[in-house]
């Protein structure tokens, strides 16, 4: 474990290509294994000999990462960031350099020339001077050349074994810093010359056996030539553990004990075997293997196990990458995560993943983290680094300590700290390195040391059968059941994953097409692409494979606010202010639920946006609403097991069964629906269906507080509304009408009034479990006159207006009228408003419960135009012309009184005719009379003046001309006069008259347009020809009234409007006074012909001769005197005074003029010369 964890980075140049390296390493093990080592069936050794340390200049250098099928030789490469994909050839070095020519040779510094290699030396190296390993190097070069030419190896198996043993001996001899020669023999040619200065500089005080380790330690600071030679030594050590003396000595007992690891072929196999049995090894051996892992982390060529498995992938995926600085490994890792048309074998993928997992267990095993994060670690994680650096290998990774007791490992502290501080990392290279760690840990839960230790029991209990790549998601979905230690570890990883879609490999791989289609211009980072994918989940074009992954990940992350980057980033202050202690309460996603409940109180706009996104995901898919999903799991299984989640479908299913689901499910679902009802943005389905409509019709409507919903509801029948949007709005309206508290504006403004007026209904609604059936709204409608809040009445009228159009919005009415609809109106279903009209037309045939509720809304519609949307819509422009300044509650009366004016268009008139017929059909639909005439009607009944057998007998009794004097209430009188005037203008306004006179009108008045007194006049002209006695009576009753009362005579009111204003404006109506007033002035020159003609149809002349006339004249003179104007009283005196004043002024002016003419005085003006002109 010697050596620093992170060393300064140096710029260096690679020079050894992949093919030549493999050839070199394979040759090293071409001799027999220590265990076996047989030739193949062609008599060739089982491994391929390596290239020589140098290569003739005539052979070009290969690419830095070439496929294994191209074993062309190349000089060794070092791990430099400047390394090109090719390296220039170096001159052969089969002889010692000139500077070393005087060294004394001995049999120990080279292979024995008379040994097993004698024949080969004579044939291949006859000109090479023995010593300093030159013969051994020459033989290696000969084998390399033969392998490159694909020829038989020129050396025997025994010779190759001797060469191997020679280099092991050289390695054990080490490097003597104090010796001029430094090494017994060069481990690679040129080592002495390249590294002498570096040895003296960095390793002067090291023992010979440790000098090579020292050079590795200071490798980034070595000269380029020495660094190249050290790297070559490392490549041989990677192939043969025995050449790494420290590791070989430490692991020797373990190798002897574990016979399966007592192998030397293929290259690197022994190292692989020891790693596989890591936990069975001695602490000393494990420590040495850990050191070797750190050394090999910088260059894939030092990890032959992965390199051999991935030759094709290196050539195809990473052909442009230079070896060194873990570049090729990073390239392979990235390629292994993504989808590609290029081949990527399972063996290579498995080896790369395994190496990545191992690198993610300690910061020193990840080259990128170790080198790039040095400053960030020192600044942010120094305590964790110090603790890790002081741990033994057993303390780090677990195992038996010296006492034989098993110890749990504590590795991963620095990486855990770097994850927690990810946003504060300053070095981009460090962030990039940590990104790979996060990606590895995202799909390999047990590669996270802390999670592997703390979550094992939770995984066994909750996620045992879950695929390994999705175990972390499973843990997040069950976060409320995890141990505190596991939850913390899992959340740290989850927080970083949430920052970027690339940190979620499962999503990133599955969603490449979706990202290109829906999120093309969305920048990576800050969860923007993740949010974009989530926002488009309900799009019909969204790829199914991507949707599955995003939904699964979203479900997992919705269990904790820290797993949602946007919420965690934007809501910290709001959480501190509103939800600081909710984590202690436990339960599903407590902080997210707290933020959701307090969404209107959130101060941060960014937090509101993110919480809205969270709510929307749950509204769209029940799996994304942790509380609802948990509370309704059994109900979903019972009622909705065949429903595919997403698009709000499971929620719709639960709502269809809301009367049957459990109370806990109903309450949880109600809370979610209340949020949805407050803002259209809480539903992707609504936004997709109504987005275009909102831009057209509701662009100025507020989004929160139910404003957008209100706008959509108010424009439900507009042609501009998309049909899909209309269906969505209708469904939402039906739900909101069933529950008082699902109507945010209504509930807020009417809470007090509901508590006073409808306490029992409100108590039931307060359970918020879909059991109220809209009874609060129905109760408030019945008792609207008792509602004190003006705002409440306004919101209530709007709701009533919706029910007027669609009675089935009232759950009680829908239930009560179901049989009536089936019996009377089955053919009208599906036709807009037709069922409603049918029920109204058959009102008297309805069952009592249905009839009562139908009448409730019909009465409401007649009392205020705001509760009669159809009429309001049809007459909107007419109201602006004729009733603009009239109070809303009096607009319908205003319109009815003017319905036959030219300014009233046909559409409006037809709707007013419906209202008029309705009022003629029942006293209940005449709100003004019903409100003011109750006492007078009771008196008339008491006097026996009313025939209660007549249809609408109340209206007939009150409007009877002979009962006028019995009416005492002035407001009642006004209401009756208004009704009588409408009857005078349109026979259809009189109860029963339209039906009574239908045939006579056809016979006697064909082609006569109803209204404006036209049919009345026609029937009066044919009074003797009317066949139906009831019709004749209706006509005569109205005619009799018209003859004696100008106020209720439509023709007089129409033709004499100017005359009434000019002569009779101060006359109080009643007792024929207005008619006698007009008669008193009818001979005046200003009287119009039309008015005189209208008066001629009355009994004006008879009235003027009656005793009433004398009394009227006296009263009229008194009235005139009383109301005589200022000029009438003081006009004469004012005239004389004005005349006198004018005379005095005229005299004064004349005197002034005479004075000026008689006493005129002349004068001169001097003008300066320079101003003359």
pLDDT at 105: 37
Average pLDDT of 103-130? 82
pLDDT at 524: 82
Average pLDDT of 187-192? 90
Tokens encoding 140: 């290696």
pLDDT at 378: 96
Q: How far apart are CA 77 and CA 83, in angstroms?
A: 8
Q: Of residues 866 and 1169, which shows the higher confidence score?
A: 866
Residue closest to 208 by CA, chosen among 178, 163, 238 = 178
Q: How far apart are CA 21 and CA 75, in angstroms?
A: 9
List Cβ neighbours of 1124 (8 Å cut-off, separation of 6 or more).
none
Q: How far apart are CA 192 and CA 93, in angstroms?
A: 13
- Helical H runs in 903-1056? 906-921, 927-932, 934-942, 953-959, 970-985, 993-996, 998-1004, 1014-1021, 1029-1044, 1050-1055
Which stretch of DSSP H or E encloses residue 762?
Answer: helix 759-765
**pTM of the complete model beyond 0.85:** no
275 pLDDT higher than 70: yes
pLDDT digits (tens, 9 = 90+) for 827-854: 876 656 688 889 988 999 999 999 999 9
- Burial category of 154 from C-beta neighbours within 10 Å (exposed 0-12, middle 13-18, buried 19 and up): middle
762 phi and psi angles, rounded to 5 deg: -65, -40
DSSP string, 1081-1143: HTTSTT--HHHHHHHHTTTHHHHHHSHHHHHHHHHHHHHHHHT--HHHHHHHHHHHHHHHHHH
Predicted confidence band of residue 808 (pLDDT cuts 50, 70, 90): confident
pLDDT at 88: 29
State how far the alpha carbon of 182 is from the alpha carbons of 129, 198, 776, in Å. 20, 11, 99
Average pLDDT of 600-616? 93
List Cβ neighbours of 826 (8 Å cut-off, separation of 6 or more).
none
pLDDT at 49: 34
Average pLDDT of 526-532? 93
Q: How far apart are CA 1113 and CA 1079, in angstroms?
A: 11
Composition of the chain by helix, strand, coil, percent to 5: 65, 0, 35
Comparing 97-101, 329-333, 513-517, which segment has the lowest mean pLDDT?
A: 97-101
Q: Of residues 1100 and 548, which shows the higher confidence score?
A: 548
Percentage of the chain lying above the pLDDT 70 cut: 84
Q: How far apart are CA 836 and CA 979, in angstroms?
A: 26
**Which long-range contacts (C-beta less than 8 Å, at least 24 apart) are formed by 746-750?**
746/777, 746/792, 746/795, 746/796, 746/799, 749/789, 749/791, 749/792, 749/794, 749/795, 750/780, 750/787, 750/789, 750/792, 750/795, 750/796
Task: Say if residue 266 is preceded by a cis peptide, omega within 30 of 0.
Answer: yes
295 pLDDT higher than 50: yes
DSSP string, 564-623: -HHHHHH-HHHHHHH-TTGGGG-SSSHHHHHHHHTGGG---HHHHHHHHHHHHHHHH-GG
Predicted confidence band of residue 1134 (pLDDT cuts 50, 70, 90): low
List Cβ neighbours of 1105 (8 Å cut-off, separation of 6 or more).
none
pLDDT digits (tens, 9 = 90+) for 627-637: 999 999 999 99
9 pLDDT higher than 50: no
Task: Determine the number of helices (DSSP H) and then strands (DSSP E) in the chain.
Answer: 66, 2
Q: How far apart are CA 977 and CA 55, in angstroms?
A: 122
Percentage of the chain lying above the pLDDT 90 cut: 66
8 Å CB contact between 527 and 500:
yes
Q: How far apart are CA 1053 and CA 716, in angstroms?
A: 40
List Cβ neighbours of 808 (8 Å cut-off, separation of 6 or more).
734, 814, 817, 835
Tokens encoding 880: 């602006």
Tokens encoding 404: 């034989």
pLDDT at 1140: 63
CA 1109 distance to own-chain centroid: 82
Average pLDDT of 1148-1159? 57
813 pLDDT higher than 90: yes
Predicted confidence band of residue 182 (pLDDT cuts 50, 70, 90): confident
pLDDT digits (tens, 9 = 90+) for 737-768: 999 999 999 999 999 999 999 999 999 999 99
pLDDT at 184: 83
1172 pLDDT higher than 60: no
Provide the 3-class DSSP secondary structure of residue 399.
strand
State how far the alpha carbon of 128 is from the alpha carbons of 96, 113, 1050, in Å. 9, 11, 137
Average pLDDT of 434-454? 92
Secondary structure E strands in 52-105? none
pLDDT at 1115: 58
pLDDT at 339: 62
State how far the alpha carbon of 406 is from the alpha carbons of 257, 282, 399, 599, in Å. 20, 13, 5, 51
Comparing 14-23, 162-171, 211-220, which segment has the lowest mean pLDDT?
A: 14-23
pLDDT at 24: 46
DSSP state of 50: P
Residue closest to 23 by CA, chosen among 325, 344, 239, 305 = 239
pLDDT at 1141: 65
Q: How far apart are CA 627 and CA 668, in angstroms?
A: 7
pLDDT at 587: 74
Average pLDDT of 706-724? 91
Average pLDDT of 804-814? 90
State how far the alpha carbon of 626 is from the alpha carbons of 476, 588, 679, 707, in Å. 11, 6, 20, 28
Q: How far apart are CA 441 and CA 496, in angstroms?
A: 11
Count of beta carbons in the 10 Å neighbourhood of residue 581: 8
Q: Which residue has the tokens 């508290």?
A: 741
Q: Of residues 143 and 166, which shows the higher confidence score?
A: 166
3-state secondary structure 418-448: HHHCHHHCCCHHHHHHHHHHHHHHHHCHHHC
pLDDT at 1139: 61
Tokens encoding 704: 């929160």
Average pLDDT of 1073-1078? 87
Provide the 3-class DSSP secondary structure of residue 183.
strand
Average pLDDT of 266-270? 89
List Cβ neighbours of 229 (8 Å cut-off, separation of 6 or more).
76, 188, 190, 191, 194, 195
Q: How far apart are CA 369 and CA 1114, in angstroms?
A: 114
pLDDT digits (tens, 9 = 90+) for 677-710: 999 999 999 999 999 999 999 988 877 788 999 9
State how far the alpha carbon of 1085 is from the alpha carbons of 1088, 1089, 1092, in Å. 8, 10, 11
Average pLDDT of 203-213? 90
Q: How far apart are CA 638 and CA 662, in angstroms?
A: 11
Comparing 36-45, 424-433, 541-550, which segment has the lowest mean pLDDT?
A: 36-45
Q: Give the total residue count for the chain.
A: 1173
pLDDT at 78: 38
Average pLDDT in the chain: 84
8 pLDDT higher than 50: no
pLDDT at 1106: 75
């Amino acid at each position: 474990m010697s050596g620093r964890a992170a060393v300064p980075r140096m710029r260096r140049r690679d020079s050894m290509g992949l093919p030549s390296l493999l050839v070199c390493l394979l040759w090293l093990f071409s001799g027999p294994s220590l265990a076996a080592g047989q030739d193949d069936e062609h008599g060739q050794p089982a491994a391929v000999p390596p290239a020589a340390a140098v290569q003739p200049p005539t052979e070009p250098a290969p690419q830095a990462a070439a496929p294994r099928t191209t074993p062309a030789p190349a000089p060794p490469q070092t791990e430099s960031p400047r390394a090109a994909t090719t390296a220039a050839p170096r001159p052969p070095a089969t002889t010692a350099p000139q500077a070393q020519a005087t060294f004394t040779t001995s049999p120990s510094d080279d292979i024995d020339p008379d040994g097993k290699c004698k024949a080969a030396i004579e044939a291949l190296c006859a000109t090479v001077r023995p010593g300093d390993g030159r013969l051994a190097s020459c033989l290696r070069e000969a084998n390399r050349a033969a392998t490159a030419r694909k020829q038989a190896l020129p050396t025997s198996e025994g010779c190759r074994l001797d060469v191997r043993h020679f280099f092991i001996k050289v390695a054990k001899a080490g490097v003597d810093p104090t010796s001029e020669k430094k090494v017994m023999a060069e481990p690679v040619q040129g080592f002495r010359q390249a590294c002498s200065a570096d040895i003296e500089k960095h390793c002067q005080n090291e023992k010979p056996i440790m000098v090579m380790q020292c050079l590795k330690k200071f490798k980034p600071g070595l000269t380029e030539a020495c660094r190249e030679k050290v790297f070559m030594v490392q490549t041989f050590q990677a192939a043969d553990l025995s050449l790494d003396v420290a590791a070989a000595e430490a692991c020797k007992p373990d190798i002897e004990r574990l016979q399966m690891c007592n192998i030397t072929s293929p290259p690197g196999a022994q190292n692989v075997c020891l790693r596989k049995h890591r936990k069975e090894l001695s602490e000393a051996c494990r420590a040495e293997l850990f050191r070797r892992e750190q050394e090999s982390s910088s260059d894939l060529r030092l990890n032959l196990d992965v390199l051999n498995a991935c030759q094709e992938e290196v050539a195809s995926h990473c052909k442009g990458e230079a070896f060194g600085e873990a570049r090729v490994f990073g390239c392979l890792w990235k390629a292994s995560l993504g989808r590609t048309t290029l081949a990527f074998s399972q063996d290579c993928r498995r080896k790369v993943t395994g190496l990545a997992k191992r690198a993610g267990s300690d910061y020193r095993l990840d080259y990128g983290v170790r080198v790039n994060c040095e400053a960030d670690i020192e600044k942010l994680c120094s305590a964790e680094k110090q603790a890790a650096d002081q741990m033994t290998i057993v303390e780090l990774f677990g195992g038996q300590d010296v006492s034989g007791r098993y110890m749990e490992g504590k590795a991963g502290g620095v990486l855990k700290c770097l994850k927690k501080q990810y946003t504060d990392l300053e070095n981009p290279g460090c962030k990039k390195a940590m990104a790979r760690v996060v990606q590895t840990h995202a799909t390999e839960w047990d590669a996270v040391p802390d999670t592997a230790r703390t979550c094992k029991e939770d995984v066994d209990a909750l996620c045992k059968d879950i695929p390994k790549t999705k175990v972390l998601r499973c843990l997040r979905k069950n976060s409320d059941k995890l141990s505190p230690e596991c939850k913390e570890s899992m959340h740290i990883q989850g927080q970083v994953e949430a920052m970027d879609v690339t940190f979620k490999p499962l999503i990133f791989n599955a969603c490449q097409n979706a990202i290109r289609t829906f999120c093309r211009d969305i920048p990576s980072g800050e969860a923007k692409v993740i949010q974009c994918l989530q926002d488009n989940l309900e799009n019909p074009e969204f790829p199914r494979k991507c949707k599955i992954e995003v939904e699964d990940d979203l479900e997992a992350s919705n269990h904790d606010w820290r797993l949602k980057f946007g919420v965690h980033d934007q809501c910290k202050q709001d959480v501190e202010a509103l939800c600081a202690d909710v984590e202690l309460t436990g339960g599903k996603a407590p902080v997210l639920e707290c933020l959701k409940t307090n969404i209107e109180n959130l101060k941060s706009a960014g937090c509101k946006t993110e919480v809205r996104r969270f709510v929307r995901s749950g509204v769209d898919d029940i799996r994304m609403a942790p509380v609802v999903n948990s509370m309704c799991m059994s109900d979903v299984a019972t009622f909705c097991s065949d429903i595919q989640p997403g698009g709000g479908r499971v929620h719709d299913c639960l709502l269809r069964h809301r009367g049957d689901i459990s109370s806990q499910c109903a309450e949880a679902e109600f809370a979610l629906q209340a949020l949805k009802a407050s803002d259209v943005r809480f539903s992707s389905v609504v936004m997709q269906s109504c987005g275009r409509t909102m831009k057209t019709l509701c662009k100025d409507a507020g989004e929160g507080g139910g404003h957008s919903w209100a706008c959509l509801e108010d424009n439900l029948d507009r042609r501009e509304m998309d049909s899909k949007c209309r269906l969505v709005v209708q469904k939402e309206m039906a739900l909101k009408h069933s529950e008082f508290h699902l109507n945010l504006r209504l509930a807020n403004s009417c809470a007090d009034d509901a508590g006073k007026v409808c306490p029992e209904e409100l108590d039931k609604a307060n359970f918020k479990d879909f059991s109220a059936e809209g009874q609060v709204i129905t109760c408030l409608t019945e008792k609207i006159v008792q509602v004190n809040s003006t705002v409440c009445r306004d919101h209530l009228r709007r709701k009533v207006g919706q029910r007027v159009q669609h009675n089935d919005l009232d759950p009680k009415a829908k239930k009560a009228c179901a049989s009536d609809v089936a019996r009377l109106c089955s053919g009208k279903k599906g036709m807009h408003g037709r069922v409603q009209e049918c029920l109204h037309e058959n009102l008297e045939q309805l069952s009592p419960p249905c009839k009562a509720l139908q009448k409730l809304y019909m009465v409401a519609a007649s009392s205020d135009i705001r509760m009669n949307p159809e009429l309001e819509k049809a007459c909107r422009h007419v109201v602006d012309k004729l009733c603009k300044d009239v109070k809303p509650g009096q607009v319908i009366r205003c319109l009815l009184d003017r319905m036959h004016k030219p300014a009233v268009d046909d559409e409006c008139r037809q709707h007013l005719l419906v209202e008029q017929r309705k009022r003629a059909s029942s006293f209940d639909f005449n709100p003004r009379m019903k409100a003011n005439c109750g006492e007078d009607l009771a008196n008339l009944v008491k006097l026996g003046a009313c025939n209660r057998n007549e249809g609408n007998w109340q209206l007939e009794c009150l409007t009877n001309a002979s009962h006028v004097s019995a009416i005492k209430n002035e407001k009642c009188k006004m209401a009756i006069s208004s009704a009588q005037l409408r009857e005078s203008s349109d026979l259809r306004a009189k109860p029963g008259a339209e039906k009574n006179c239908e045939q006579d009108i056809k016979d006697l008045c064909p082609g006569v347009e109803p209204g404006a007194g036209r049919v009345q006049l026609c029937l009066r002209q044919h009074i003797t020809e009317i066949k139906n006695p009831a019709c004749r009576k209706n006509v005569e009753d109205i005619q009799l009234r018209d003859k004696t009362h100008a106020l209720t005579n439509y023709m007089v009111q129409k033709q004499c409007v100017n005359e009434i204003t000019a002569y009779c404006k101060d006359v109080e109506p009643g007792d024929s006074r207005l008619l006698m007033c007009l008669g008193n002035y009818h001979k005046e020159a200003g009287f119009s012909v039309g008015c005189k003609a209208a008066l001629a149809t009355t009994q004006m002349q008879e009235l003027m001769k009656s005793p009433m006339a004398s009394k009227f004249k006296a009263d009229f003179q008194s009235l005139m005197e009383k109301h005589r104007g200022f000029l009438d009283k003081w006009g004469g005196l004012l005239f004389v005074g004005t005349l006198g004043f004018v005379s005095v002024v005229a005299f004064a002016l004349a005197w002034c003029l005479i004075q000026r003419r008689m006493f005129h005085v002349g004068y001169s003006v001097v003008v300066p010369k320079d101003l003359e002109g």
